[in-house]
């Protein structure tokens, strides 16, 4: 495998993906407020309004592999996409993660951003990527399918609202 590199700026026809910045924390908090009520509570805003914008800003350095997704025509930040190592036992395995504001849904942005990250990972020499997705999240399951991920049949987490499914993409 090639040396593991840090994601830099990636560009597509309609998007620019680049390292996230502290001044975008309000947008990332907005993602928390828009999450489906079936998402586990620890991934939603709690009764005390946490995480706050300041807390999210402080966490941005913890996941350097996640990139801000900007629309090229407006420079508006519409979410994030990238690679994270959370839960991985090996530096050769990374998880693809993406989340976009609801106003950006249904336009192919997640597939476009994810495609750029998958192409980068292939060129960087990763042998495979994985992703998890809730069984009820049909839109994200479809994005992963378009990106070449296949469901493994394994559930990595369960809640009263469903199962988090493991998917994999081999190169």
Q: Report the candidate in 159, 148, 163, 169 with the shortest Cα–Cα distance to residue 44.
A: 159
**Per-residue model confidence (pLDDT) at position 1:** 41
* 4, 123 Cβ separation under 8 angstroms: no
pLDDT in tens, 70-117: 999 999 999 999 999 865 556 678 999 999 999 999 999 999 999 999
Q: What is the pTM of this model?
A: 0.93
pLDDT in tens, 20-50: 999 999 999 999 999 999 999 999 999 999 9
**Per-residue model confidence (pLDDT) at position 4:** 46
Question: Which backbone phi and psi does 62 adopt, to 5 degrees?
Answer: -70, -20
- Tally the C-alpha atoms within 13 A of residue 114's C-alpha that lie toward its C-beta: 24
């Amino acid at each position: 495998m090639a040396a593991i590199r840090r994601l830099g700026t990636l560009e597509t026809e309609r998007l620019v993906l680049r390292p996230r910045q502290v001044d975008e924390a309000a947008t990332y908090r907005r993602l928390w407020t828009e999450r489906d009520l079936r998402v586990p509570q620890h991934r939603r805003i709690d009764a005390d309004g946490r995480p706050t914008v300041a807390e999210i800003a402080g966490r941005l350095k913890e996941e350097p592999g996640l990139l801000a997704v900007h629309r090229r025509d407006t420079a508006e930040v519409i979410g994030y996409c990238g690679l994270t190592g959370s839960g991985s036992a090996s530096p050769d395995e990374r998880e693809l993660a993406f989340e976009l504001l609801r106003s950006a849904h249904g336009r192919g942005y997640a597939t476009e951003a994810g495609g750029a990250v998958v192409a980068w990972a292939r060129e960087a020499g990763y042998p495979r990527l994985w992703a998890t997705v809730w069984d009820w999240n049909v839109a994200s399951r479809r994005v992963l399918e378009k990106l070449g991920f296949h469901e493994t049949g394994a559930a990595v987490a369960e809640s009263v609202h469903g199962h988090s499914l493991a998917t994999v993409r081999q190169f």
